[in-house]
């Protein structure tokens, strides 16, 4: 009887542990285009990139955000060939109104840390300069889905470097030491 009981426990434990409940990890990728604004140096410039991530259980998740801003500081004639690139790892919080399948709306907040790389080449007063700075971002937006796999996304976020940016110090002197700006973007989202 003891062996039968052990076998019954084993089978019961196996069935309980192998019983699966559908888990809905809500993965997404969103190519986007936008504009940078309210920056201390330069003026509003076009930016493009993509954001990809996933929402575990529909409410909390993570995302990777990549953005590239050509001519971030100004035109080539005034600041040389220049750009700023951002790569951020973020935590994202959002509530899926309408569920995780089919049409619906998900407002979200997002924030994290990563790299802000600035680069300039061919400046008249400074040789080629680039800087990799630790930075952070904070923002939010809305994802709206028309069905199971397609929707649109609007996003507004603030970026700032932490510490001295060598490119800015080289070109502007000690007056400007950090890159900080807002980015508004709009794109499609696939899940």
Give the pLDDT confidence of 74-119 residue by residue, as tens digits.
Answer: 777 777 788 899 999 999 999 888 777 788 899 999 999 999 998 8
Which CATH number does the domain housing residue 91 bear? 2.40.160.20
> Domain for residue 171, yes or no?
yes
Residue 61: exposure state from Cβ atoms within 10 A (0-12, 13-18, ≥19) = buried
Position 155 pLDDT exceeds 50: yes
Position 21 pLDDT exceeds 50: no
Residues of the domain holding 45: 25-190
Task: Give yes or no for a contact between 141 and 156, defined as CB atoms under 8 angstroms apart.
Answer: yes
How many domains would you assign to the chain? 1
Task: Give yes or no for a contact between 37 and 24, defined as CB atoms under 8 angstroms apart.
Answer: no
> Domain for residue 86, yes or no?
yes
Average pLDDT over residues 152-167: 85
> Domain for residue 7, yes or no?
no
Q: Which residue has the higher pLDDT, 189 or 80?
A: 189
pTM: 0.80
Residue listed under structure tokens 């997404």: 28
Rounded CA gap, 39 and 181, in Å?
4
């Amino acid at each position: 009887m003891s062996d039968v009981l052990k076998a019954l426990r084993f089978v019961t434990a196996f069935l309980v542990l192998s019983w699966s409940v559908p888990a809905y990890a809500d993965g997404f990728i969103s190519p986007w285009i936008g504009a940078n604004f309210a920056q201390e140096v330069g003026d509003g410039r076009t930016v493009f990139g993509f954001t990809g991530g996933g929402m575990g259980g529909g409410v909390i998740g993570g995302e990777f955000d990549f953005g590239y801003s050509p001519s971030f500081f100004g035109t080539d004639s005034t600041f040389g060939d220049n750009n700023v690139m951002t790569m951020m790892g973020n935590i994202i919080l959002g509530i899926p109104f309408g569920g995780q399948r089919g049409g619906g709306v998900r407002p979200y907040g997002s924030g994290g840390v990563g790299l802000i790389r600035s680069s300039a080449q061919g400046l008249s007063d400074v040789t080629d300069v680039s800087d990799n700075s630790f930075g952070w971002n904070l923002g939010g937006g809305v994802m709206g889905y028309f069905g199971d796999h397609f929707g649109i996304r609007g996003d507004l976020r603030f970026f700032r470097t932490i510490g001295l940016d060598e490119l800015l110090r080289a070109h502007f002197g000690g007056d400007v030491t950090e890159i900080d700006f807002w980015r508004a973007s709009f794109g499609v989202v696939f899940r």
